Amino acid sequence: MFGETRLVAIEKVETRPAARFADPYISFRLSVEVGGPHIVIYPSLTVEVCVNQSGEGARGLGVCILGHETRPEFQGLSKSDLDFLLPLTPNVVRRIEEARTKEGKGNIHLRLILSGSVLLVDLQARPDPLKPKAQILVLEMRQPQVAQRLNATVVTRISSSDWVTEYQSRLGLGKFVLLEVPLDMEDVAARLEGMKDRELTGRVVDAARMLEQANHLLREGRWRDSVRQARDALEILEKGKLEKDGISVTQGVKDIIERAGLPEAAGNDLVQVIGRLYSFASATHPVTKKEQTVDLAVFDREDAVFVLTCIASIISMIAKKLERET
């Protein structure tokens, strides 16, 4: 049975990188002022990432694992130290990186929502049966049938420098999260669906959907097939004409770059990058040598990852610039 909600004060929050087995975590230690001797029961900590200290733009990261240092035991003082672990899964890291990019300075703001139950108790002095004239403190429940709900919220901050030097380097995150590689091409295609009246937009949508198929082939371990499919996706942005505008597809790409405020040379360079990448991926296609059809290349996983991430970045960049024009 529960009584009224008890609002407690989180007086201090300590965060640090931690590892359990092979997984990375953020470790939280919360110093909580309860207001008297107590027993904390079933503490829980939910974490959200925000774009600033005010808690704006909050997105959930998950519920923490209770640290092994925290047990539902009697606390003779009015304070408790509660330990929690937040697993740094790929999705959690992605949301953190997205939020700290929006923050501007790269800092991380985490909203911690503490819940649980607390039993308040009394300490009564009683004669020590083993030592004459001595006393011992005896624990007595004030209302043993009533547990008060525990509730507290605080926003804590991890600086950009600490995140890079302490967390990314110590937990091995820096190898994966310093660059954002957009591989959710289905999402890119969905965002542009309403703009299909423009030829180039339609081509970007088709390329994004084809690259999503290449991504599935990559997950199946079919490296060469994945590169071939990605090459076909890039071909949509490398060859052909935009009939309505009477220009080549590559000229349309260059025009987008210039309209976005970049110099003409940047558009020319991007088209060259697309051409070079298309040429690299074209090694997956058979060629005829001395009247024999020969497969030129055997692509490995790292080759497929390279091609897909480059093409995904190009498609995502063009898509975002198109979205800004609407």
Grouping H, G, I as helix, E, B as strand and the rest as coil, residue 90 is helix
- For the chain, what percent of residues have pLDDT higher than 70? 75
Q: What is the DSSP letter of 232?
A: H
Contact between residue 175 and residue 165 where contact means Cβ atoms under 8 Å apart: no
pLDDT class of 282 with cuts at 50, 70, 90: confident
Fold of the domain spanning 185-324: Four Helix Bundle (Hemerythrin (Met), subunit A) (1.20.120)
Task: Return the CATH number of the domain spanning residue range 2-177.
Answer: 2.60.40
| Beta-ladder partners of 38 | 75, 120
Instruction: Report the alpha-carbon distance of residue 205 to residue 186 in Å, rounded.
Output: 9
- For the chain, what percent of residues have pLDDT higher than 90? 16
| Beta-ladder partners of 154 | 112
Interval 78-93: pLDDT, tens: 778 889 999 988 888 8
Domain limits, the chain: 2-177, 185-324
| Beta-ladder partners of 27 | 16, 85
pTM of the complete model: 0.55
Interval 1-45: pLDDT, tens: 444 555 667 888 888 888 776 778 999 998 888 777 777 778 899
Interval 93-142: pLDDT, tens: 888 888 887 777 889 999 999 988 877 777 666 777 788 777 776 666 55
Which pairing describes strands 247-248 and 241-242: parallel, antiparallel, or unpaired?
Answer: antiparallel
Rounded to the nearest 5°, which phi and psi values hold at 58? Answer: -65, 135
Instruction: Report the alpha-carbon distance of residue 273 to residue 161 in Å, rounded.
Output: 33
Tokens linked to 94 = 């992605």
pLDDT class of 197 with cuts at 50, 70, 90: very low
| Beta-ladder partners of 151 | 7, 115
Amino acid at 171: L
Rounded to the nearest 5°, which phi and psi values hold at 182? Answer: -80, 105
